[in-house]
Chain A
């Protein structure tokens, strides 16, 4: 809680990972407008590259991607950046995959398509629970 209060002005560093380029772009635009520091990746590989270049607080990961299974990406993400908080976007009714993600260290999940406000709330909630360091 203290951390949250400490840096209200510092934008939350957000990595959007989704192979749907248009979705990533529009989401990125809207979130940037809402004072998030947004990075975009349209594949697992791209996400790993970006993580090596710079730090992110939170990743929003679409579990259903074409090049790699979402859970596999999650595992690698947690390996590269153990402190990264991951919020998963799942297809409707794919709760089991989401639950597996939580077992693998993801913070929570939202079903896709989700409301922007819902996502922002979740991001803020997750940021508050971000592990120290």
Chain B
């Protein structure tokens, strides 16, 4: 039995734990959903917009860098092309101004060299007249090169076949880098050449001083991948030209290219074709240097995005935590409200049950009333007849009287029972009057004093003075407290004991306690003592209606009745009756036509 109860408690406990677990799971999944929703709706646009803006910024920054490169390249291309054009023009002018024989005069040649040197800041190193066989027949300049033969030189082979010519940089006879500007003329069907050596240093300066950012510089290559300006150690011109060729930009006027060098460093190149496509001018810069500002901006932007995202994530967690907290609180409130409702519904059912039992009892009582009345009256009639003289002599007269008295007594007992049964459903005297509870209790003490004396029970009262009056039926109140006092006396055995009646005001309620130091009530019975027909008294001693009637009366008044009991120590019944006017029930409702 107790095992079963234990099991059921454990089962219920498990159920509750399972319920709690599933509730927690529900909250967790709700939390996850809320967090995901907030993250999705807040983070997605943030990230999309950020990435879009960053991209746009990177694009326009790149364009800016490229534009800057292109602008620089164009400017220098113009300068270089103009420089070469100019030098060529001077030599052409000299070649066309004088005849072959005149130019063969070295002193003239010297004079003319000084003239153009003065005009061009010593860019021209020397001037020489070369005949069709490649022999330098006249020379003006720092080296003694009169009579030198260029028949085998590369430049000569090209120069003799072109009206004018600008060579690549080469070391030639003198062993230092230089290049040659030449013009071809003809005399008697035989070509001759006027050539001038251009100072490499002067030319070099044109690109050498070009600086871009911290790591950017410029140089010129020919299509074979040879430096036309001072060689730079870190640049591998041959490989570079191959790359340019592969990318198909060698013949384009201006291109931008990004390449990785051998160290894995990214470099950005601007390749501009100069000298009518024979050379390329290369502007080179470290990618990181060129885009340093962009990198910094990107870093800041990413930092901002990360911080913002963290803020969004944190706030999504905090918000959903608050939200879930509120929801679970509301759920708890709802749950406790549901529980209250359940209890209320149970009470309604209990009340309905009580009412049904009451109806039944009333019906039975009514039916029994008449036969009982007849029995009592018939006994009375026999008694009446016994008064007549001829029966007075009967031996058994005393026995007749005793028997009739017994019939009468038992009839009355039946009547009491039916009265109690009827009280269960209906009031004895339903008139609601103002009752002083203390007076009522004193009356009950008085009514019970006879029996108390006989049973060796002391009845004490602890009554608070100046209590407000309650509105109730006096007979009903009497019934309630008499019943409680009677029960208290029943609980005390022959050795005697004491009963204490206490009245006091507790909030809006009038509280009356009936406490005895009798046998007490077993815990298992405590929950059932207000049920109709439930009794622990021996058969025939109690109807089991007393307390259920009390319960009904007190509930009808909007009050409450509770019991506390310890087996062997005693029992205390506490009755609470509201003193507020609203608690009164309209008297008509409780009545019934019989």
Contacts and interface: CB of A to CB of B under 8 A. Distances in A.
Interface stretch (B17-25, B204-212, B425-433, B464-472): B425-433
B415 interface: yes
A26 B426 contact: no
Contacts of A75: none
Interface string B355-377: 00000001001100110111011
A112 B362 contact: no
Interface in B425-471: 425-430
A94 B381 contact: no
A113 B362 contact: no
A97 B376 contact: no
Main secondary structure of the interface of A (DSSP, over half): helix
Chain A: number of interface residues, binned into ranges: 20 to 34
A22 B374 contact: yes
B390 interface: no
Contact of B422 (A93, A113, A114): A93
A20 interface: yes
A45 interface: no
Contacts of A95: 426-430, 591
Contacts of A113: 369-370, 372-373, 376-377, 411, 415
Contacts, number: 83
A93 B380 CA distance: 25
Contacts of B419: 92
A132 to B, nearest CB: 31
A106 to B, nearest CB: 14
A22 to B, nearest CB: 5
A94 to B, nearest CB: 2
B588 interface: yes
A95 B9 CA distance: 49
B418 interface: yes
Nearest to B379: A26
A5 interface: no
B333 interface: no
Q: Which residue, B374, B411, B428, B429, has most C-beta atoms of chain A within 10 A?
A: B374
Contacts of B370: 20, 23, 112-113
Interface in B392-426: 411, 415, 418-419, 422-423, 425-426
Given A64-B366, A112-B369, A91 B377 contact: no
B594 A97 contact: yes
Contacts of B428: 92-93, 95
* Ranked 10 nearest A-B pairs via Cβ: A94-B594, A113-B373, A93-B426, A96-B591, A91-B594, A97-B593, A93-B422, A92-B422, A26-B377, A22-B374
Interface of B: 362, 365-366, 369-370, 372-374, 376-378, 380-381, 384, 411, 415, 418-419, 422-423, 425-430, 588, 591-594
